[in-house]
Structure 1
């Protein structure tokens, strides 16, 4: 199982977290999405071939800013 973590801007509530979980969960290979509002972070777990570009695009599609993955 692979883990990717992203810093996300613009999140402020559980609705934000739910929107991100919904969009990112649709990316192929994703098995779990954990959103930490306090840390402004999203951690994605899934198959070894997770595509960082698709994960970033899903977060942006949900309406939030995202920075490069954090080393996990």
Structure 2
């Protein structure tokens, strides 16, 4: 089991949280996603480490941006 935490910029409401969670859940191997709106943090649990580019693409698809 692997856990990674990212910071997403631009989320302002529960709809934002749901959009980000939904896109990240589509990544192969992801078993759980926890999004904290207040801090912008996204914790991803997966069977194996998830590729950062896949996470970035999922967040972009949801309409937001990963903090660098």
| TM bucket, shorter chain | over 0.9
Gaps of 5+ in 2: none
Unaligned segments of structure 1, at least 5 residues: none
The runs of at least 4 consecutive aligned structure 1 residues that moved more than 2 Å come to none
TM-score (norm 2): 0.93
Q: What is the TM-score normalised by the length of structure 1?
A: 0.88
Report the Cα distance in structure 1 between the residues aligned to 2:58 and 2:50, rounded to whole angstroms.
12
Q: CA RMSD in A?
A: 1.0
8 Å CA contact retained: 2:3, 2:49: no
State the aligned residue count. Answer: 68
